Amino acid sequence: MSTSLGTVLTAIVTPFDDDLAFDEEAFVDLMHHLAKHGSDGFVVCASTGESATLDSAEHLRIIKLACENRPPGTTIVASTGSNNTRQACRMTERATEFGVDGVLSVTPYYNKPNRRGIVAHYREVAAATDKPVILYNIPSRVVLDLPNDFLAELAQIERIDYVKQANDDSLAPIDGLGVYAGNCGAFARVLDMGGCGGIVVSSHIAGDQMRRMVDEPDQRAAIDASLRELYDAIFLTTNPIPVKAALNMLGHRVGRPRLPLVPADEAETAVIRTALEHLGLLEPAPA
């Protein structure tokens, strides 16, 4: 299924300075770097972007900055979901005003709404924008899983056009929805089944290779196999701890995560470094 939002969408990190304030310059620099290395667009202020520790003003500032400084030809998808429907709608409205190309809206977490509540929630969110809405099914973080028959039901709501599927056990075509891989390890599978692509994290590091997986389908399986060590390293502990560590090792100024997330420890750093060395991105450390 083709999509105007792009195939390789990087769930971009939020860089912080030494005082853990948002680093605007580093964010814009990183967007432009990623655009040169395979990314079709960016999902901003999602879990990789540490949305849980951004206040509303910061969240909106980042979305606005992304829209104003997007690299030519790239798209901006704003993560605007919440377990508070009114807040989700307010954030969606503001992001739409800033000029995003779409919004990502996570299943309401913690309050555990029933199916009727979820339908009502997404009707309100979809009515708050004239842009495509990407549902975000990630039961590992929000407790609730949206089965594929229910996702197909939600697709009947106008402007709900896609799903970021982070439940690999449910990875399959869904009537009425374009499917994006929610996990890097499922990217090749989604491409093979004719899905839209992936909203991925490893493209921060291996964007050129992930672009080749799109453009060179005959090489897709081999490229995917070559990236498995990286995928494992990037998710060996809570996202975005490892990807921030990897980016810092590669000279990108992204800083450390905000509490309650902590930087990678010595053992985690060693695993990440080894994966980068095996990809030829870092010289092996002296013995």
**Which value, to the nearest 10 degrees, does the dihedral of the CA atoms of residues 100, 103, 104, 107 take?**
150
d(CA 230, CA 109): 29
- Alpha-carbon separation of residue 120 from 68, 84, 147, 165 (angstroms): 32, 12, 17, 21
- Return the structure tokens found at 193: 């089944």
- Catalogue the active-site residues: 136, 164
What crossing angle do the helices spanning 266-278 and 241-249 adopt, rounded to 10°? Answer: 60
CB-count exposure of residue 51 (10 Å: 0-12, 13-18, 19+): buried
Radius of gyration, alpha carbons of the chain: 18
Q: Which of 138, 61, 70, 59 is nearest to 101 (CA)?
A: 70
Question: Phi/psi at 46 (nearest 5 deg)?
Answer: -95, -165
d(CA 81, CA 91): 8
